[in-house]
């Protein structure tokens, strides 16, 4: 990982914490961690901001799921596919960030869009604006939305993201002093 990516990751993590989120790097949903990487593609999101789910809610989901399995005679290992493996019932993944700071083909970006839109409430692809990468990525996000429904994925350059975080950080500091 290059130094500029490390710095940006740290800023994203700090800003998420400032906004009241818990933060995790290289996040994979709990349900997919047990899969064999040789058999299944296991996506990772570079940085996620999340809220921890109430343990009572998690237990509620697990109990209801188990009751449904019993009603249709499924054993413990068989899945109803009601609790998707790409979600983490212990964490409400609100925002995910994919940092693409080198040239990426549009097909690669579509993979990021698919992962972010399925596993996070909102996604951000942070991509350098060289050779129209931002514009190509926005087009890819629009195509995904047309084909699969709203992607909830935003595309932004690292410079724009840092500018926004700095501006909002300054705004928060001014609010405290007023």
C-alpha 70/C-alpha 68 separation (Å) is 5
Q: In whole angstroms, how large is the CA radius of gyration of the chain?
A: 19
Is pLDDT of 14 > 90? Answer: yes
- CATH 3.30.1490 fits domain 3-53+87-177: no
The average confidence (pLDDT) of the chain is: 85
Question: Residue holding tokens 């993944």?
Answer: 93
Q: What is the pLDDT of residues 132-148, one digit of tens each?
A: 888 888 888 888 888 88
User: Phi/psi of residue 50, each to 5°?
Assistant: -145, 165
Lowest-pLDDT range, 12-26, 33-47, 84-98, 164-178?
A: 164-178
Classify 88 as helix, strand or coil: coil
C-alpha 148/C-alpha 117 separation (Å) is 10
CA angle 157, 105, 109 (to 5 degrees): 60
C-alpha 50/C-alpha 53 separation (Å) is 9
Question: Residue holding tokens 């002093």?
Answer: 177
pLDDT at 175: 60
CA angle 76, 26, 173 (to 5 degrees): 120
Which has more pLDDT, 42 or 75?
42
Is pLDDT of 79 > 70? Answer: no
Residue ranges per domain, the chain? 3-53+87-177
């Amino acid at each position: 990982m290059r130094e500029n990516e490390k710095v940006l990751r740290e800023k994203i993590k700090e800003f998420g914490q400032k906004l009241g989120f818990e933060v995790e790097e290289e996040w994979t949903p709990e349900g997919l961690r047990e899969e064999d990487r040789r058999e299944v593609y296991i996506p990772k999101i570079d940085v996620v901001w999340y809220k921890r789910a109430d343990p009572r809610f998690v237990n509620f989901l697990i109990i209801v799921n188990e009751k449904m399995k019993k009603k249709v005679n499924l054993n413990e290992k068989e899945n109803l596919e009601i609790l998707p493996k790409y979600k983490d019932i212990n964490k409400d993944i609100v925002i995910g960030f994919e940092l693409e700071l080198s040239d990426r083909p549009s097909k690669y970006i579509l993979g990021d869009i698919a992962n972010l839109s399925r596993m996070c409430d909102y996604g951000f692809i942070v991509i350098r604006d060289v050779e129209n990468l931002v514009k190509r990525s926005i087009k890819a996000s629009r195509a995904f939305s047309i084909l699969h429904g709203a992607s909830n994925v935003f595309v932004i350059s690292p410079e724009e993201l840092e500018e926004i975080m700095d501006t909002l950080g300054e705004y928060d500091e001014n609010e405290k002093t007023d």
